[in-house]
Amino acid sequence: MRYHVLGFAIAASLTTVPAFAATPEVAMAKECGACHMVYPASQLPARSWTALMASLGNHFGENAALDSATTKQIADLLTTTAADAAGRNNRALRGLSATQTPLRITETPYWISKHGQGRVAATALAAVKAKSASDCVACHAGASSGQFDDD
Amino acid sequence: MRMTLTALAFLSASATLAVAAPGPAQQAQLDTYATLAKAVDPAFAGFSAEHGKTLFLAKSTTGKPDTPSCTTCHTADPTKPGQTRAGKAIGPMAISMKADRYSIPAETEKWFGRNCDSVLGRACTPLEKGDFITFMVGQ
C-alpha cells in the first residue's frame, strides 16, 4: 500500500476558544472536527460545500447546526478552498458532471476510482480500525499542511 | 449498632455532597436554567437528578433513526468515554471524570440544541437541561 500525504488537519482541542473570536481555520478545526476528522475542502466542489453547509441541521442523520455567523465563516473558507476554486488542482473533480452535487467525498467518481470502485473491503477497514471508508485518516495518516499531495 | 449505622449514613451523605458539588461555572448554568424553568412554571421547586437520569437513558422514537438515545453516543455509563457515529472519542459526561463539563454556556447550549433534536426530534426544555446537568453533577 502506498501512503499519501493528505492535507488533513487533525482536529485540535480548542474547546475553550469561542467560535466568534476564532480564525476560519480554527473555527473549522473545532466545529467540523468535533465528530470526525476535518475533511479537506479540496476534495469537493464549492457547490457541494454550499449545499452541505446549508443543511447542517440534517447532516448525515444528525443535527450538526451552528450559529449563522460561524456557519458563514466556515462556508466561506470551504468554498474558497474547494476543488474548483481558482488555482486549485481539481483532480478530485474527474468524472464529476457539473450537474452533480455530491455531499460525500466518498460519492465522487474520483474517490470511487481510487478505492476499488468504492468497495473498500471490510477486512481493510478492520485492519486499520476504521468505522467506515469515510474515516480517511485511518489509512492516510500524518500530514497537516493543509494541502493535498499524493507523494 | 444504631450508632454505627448513623455514622455510616452521615459519612456517605457527606461523601456524596463533596462529589456532587457543581463548580461556579456549572452552578451559573444551573441558575440560568432554574430562572428559565421558573418562568415557564412558577411552581418549579428545583431540579431532579432522577429525571435527568431517565432522560439520559430513555429510548426515543421521535428523533432521527440513527440516534435513538443519548446513550447511542455517550454510552449508558456517564463515567465512561463515549464515541460519535463516525468513531471519534467523546469525553465522559460525569463531572467527576471531566471537571470542565457544562462550564461554557455556548457549548452546552449548542450540544443540547443538536442532540435533543437528533434524539427527541425537539428542543429540550430548561427543566430537562437542568435535570440532566444535576444528574451529571452527581455522577
The verdict on residue B3 lying in a domain is no
Q: Which of the two residues, A16 and B127, has the higher pLDDT score?
A: B127
- On whether any CB of chain A is under 8 Å from the CB of B113, the answer is yes
The verdict on residue B105 lying in a domain is yes
Collapsed DSSP state (helix, strand, coil) of residue B44? coil
The verdict on residue B31 lying in a domain is yes
Tell me the pLDDT band of A20, cut-offs 50, 70 and 90: low
Please give the pLDDT value at position A51.
98
Span of A112-126, B82-96, B110-124 with lowest mean pLDDT: A112-126
Domain with residue B112: its CATH number is 1.10.760.10
The verdict on residue B1 lying in a domain is no
- On whether any CB of chain A is under 8 Å from the CB of B65, the answer is yes
Q: Do residues B22 and B137 lie in contact, with contact meaning Cβ atoms separated by under 8 Å? A: yes
Q: Which of the two residues, B64 and A147, has the higher pLDDT score?
A: B64
CB atoms within 10 A of CB B108: 20
Q: Is a pLDDT exceeding 50 seen at residue B16? A: no
Hey, of A35, A60, A104, which one would you mutate to test binding to chain B, going by the most B CBs within 10 A of its CB?
A35
Q: Is a pLDDT exceeding 90 seen at residue B43? A: yes
pTM of the entire predicted model? 0.88
Closest A-chain CA to B117: A63
The verdict on residue B49 lying in a domain is yes
Which of A15, A19, A62 faces B118 most closely, judged by CB atoms?
A: A62
Chain B CB contacts of A134 below 8 Å? 86
Q: Which domain holds residue B92?
A: 22-137
CB atoms within 10 A of CB B11: 10
ipTM of the complex: 0.84
Q: Is a pLDDT exceeding 80 seen at residue B134? A: yes
Q: Is a pLDDT exceeding 60 seen at residue B9? A: no
Q: Which of the two residues, A56 and B14, has the higher pLDDT score?
A: A56
Q: A36–B86: do the CB atoms touch at under 8 Å? A: yes
Residues of A within an 8 Å Cβ radius of B = 15-16, 18-19, 34-37, 57-58, 61-67, 130-132, 134-135
Tell me the pLDDT band of B71, cut-offs 50, 70 and 90: very high
Chain A CB contacts of B110 below 8 Å? 66-67
Mean pLDDT of A85-108: 92
Q: Is a pLDDT exceeding 50 seen at residue B47? A: yes
Q: Which of the two residues, A35 and A127, has the higher pLDDT score?
A: A35
Please state the domain count of chain B.
Answer: 1
The verdict on residue B128 lying in a domain is yes
What percentage of residues in chain A have a pLDDT greater than 90? 56
The verdict on residue B61 lying in a domain is yes
Q: A18–B88: do the CB atoms touch at under 8 Å? A: no
CA Rg, chain A, in Å?
15
Please give the pLDDT value at position A21.
58
Q: Is a pLDDT exceeding 50 seen at residue A26? A: yes
For the stretch A53-80, pLDDT in tens is: 999 999 999 999 999 999 999 999 999 9
